[in-house]
Amino acid sequence: MGLTIHWKLSLNGSHESVKKALKPVCDEINKSPGVNAVMEVHYYHESRDEPEKKDLFDWAWRHSDKNIGGDIPEYPKEIFYLLGDPGEMSEKVLIYLGRYGDEDHWEGSGFCKTQYAVKFIETHCLVVEWLSLLRKNGIATEVFDEGEYWETRDVSALLKVYERYNKMMAAFSDGLEDAGVEFTGEVPGYIKRRKDRLN
């Protein structure tokens, strides 16, 4: 739960054209202060037995439209991906294009929850900037931004949505406490910060 940016990507082209489209995006992401991104190519048949790579293919399988409502996993034959860290306490950004069939059609999807980032505005705007770079480099990019920043580029509108989400999360947390739900373990710092700010 929390304010999130969702995206779907697609590109028709050869192996080389995908690489060519993603390379400048990776270069730009790496120019962001304090951010590191890695671009790699993984092949399904070579990677399936390696646990850290299997996770990537599982992610691509779960988030592919090809697998909605299906029981038989359709893993991509190969994947290009970028992995970037937009800010402290934000989810990481996994941008990938996978080829599922024999034709030169690549697709991917993903999301990034930014609400709990230490520097929310900077982080959210940075993720939107990265998605804009994909579009500028010829990758079809559909975005659903719960913060409405993708559509408006209006920081004040983004802040209004952010505050609304914070109030909703505080009410949810208070409701659990009122119902007598006890939390075990340590409450994450970002929850404490948000709760203190709203009380």
Claim to verify: residue 102 and residue 169 sit in the same structural domain: no
CB 86 within 8 A of CB 54: no
Q: What is the pLDDT of residues 130-172, one digit of tens each?
A: 999 999 999 999 999 999 999 999 999 999 999 998 888 778 7
Claim to verify: residue 49 and residue 145 sit in the same structural domain: yes
What pLDDT does residue 61 have? 61
Claim to verify: residue 20 and residue 112 sit in the same structural domain: yes
Claim to verify: residue 19 and residue 109 sit in the same structural domain: yes
DSSP 82-129: EEE--STTSPPEEEEEEE-SSSSEEEEEEEEE-TT-TTHHHHHHHHHH
Claim to verify: residue 68 and residue 35 sit in the same structural domain: yes
Q: What is the pLDDT of residues 65-117, one digit of tens each?
A: 555 555 556 677 788 888 888 988 899 888 889 888 778 999 999 999 999 99
Claim to verify: residue 81 and residue 9 sit in the same structural domain: yes
Claim to verify: residue 163 and residue 146 sit in the same structural domain: no
Claim to verify: residue 161 and residue 144 sit in the same structural domain: no
What pLDDT does residue 119 have? 93
Indicate whether 187 pLDDT > 60. no
Indicate whether 127 pLDDT > 90. yes
What pLDDT does residue 159 have? 96
Q: How many domains does the chain have?
A: 2
Claim to verify: residue 104 and residue 23 sit in the same structural domain: yes
What pLDDT does residue 69 have? 55
Q: What is the pLDDT of residues 41-60, one digit of tens each?
A: 555 544 555 666 666 666 66
Claim to verify: residue 33 and residue 124 sit in the same structural domain: yes
Claim to verify: residue 184 and residue 143 sit in the same structural domain: no
- CA 191 to CA 79: how far, in whole Å? 35
Contacts of 62 (CB under 8 A, 6+ apart): none
Q: Which domain holds residue 188?
A: 155-198
